[in-house]
Amino acid sequence: MLAMVLTKDRESRLERRPVPAPRDDQVLVDVDLCGICGSDLHAPDLPEVYLGGFIMGHEPAGRIARVGRDVSGWRVGQRVAINPNGDTCGVCEACCSGRLNHCIPATMERAVGLQADGALAAHVAVSPKTLHALPDEMGRVESGWVEPAATCRLGTACRWWSHGGGAAQDNRLRAGRRTPGPTRSGPVT
């Protein structure tokens, strides 16, 4: 398959790669769409985050093509979005305090498309912990916005909380639903 790779010599290059063979604890996703993040454009200059030698792409949506034998709760054909930092350890201080986005193994050691093969290719093998089910009624184009929108939602919530806001009641992102947060009149700056 063709894939966009950040090479070990820090160049972005289109290369042929084999279709990934998922481990028993992984799922294989047929990639439908994958956004190109602003950070992808600077990947060659970010060696502390983008290790090199991996397929890029951390904003994907697609359909499950294969489910490893040790994986439960997911089925072939199911539509999913992938959280690139979702393969959390579950035991570090960040995970135990509910700040999963601060889990070092998930964000700095095995993030999809940064330190592990990503989705700027036809297929990607990932931990089921990275998956979020997409509703069947969500359109193809809209599904490509799930990861970027979730990132914005988290950033907004963190800013709101750090400026004295209360805890959000429901952090699930749903199409067509307004997210809780501060309101104010006037232009947004």
Is 101 a member of any domain?
yes
- Its domain, for residue 7, covers 2-154
**If phi over 0 gives left and psi between -120 and 50 gives alpha, with beta otherwise, what is residue 103?**
beta
Is 170 a member of any domain?
no
pLDDT of 45 above 80:
yes
**Which of the pair, 141 or 7, is modelled with greater confidence?**
7
48: domain CATH number is 3.90.180.10
The count of structural domains within the chain is 1
- Give residue-wise pLDDT tens across range 71-99: 999 999 999 999 999 999 999 999 999 88
Residue 4: pLDDT band (50, 70, 90) is very high
pLDDT of 31 above 90:
yes
All residues at 6 or more sequence positions from 61 whose CB lies less than 8 Å from its CB, including other chains: 31, 32, 33, 34, 79, 80, 81, 82, 134, 143, 144, 146, 147
Structure tokens that stand for 107 in this block: 């964000």
**Which of the pair, 119 or 148, is modelled with greater confidence?**
119
- Give residue-wise pLDDT tens across range 100-145: 889 999 999 999 999 999 999 999 999 999 999 999 888 777 777 6
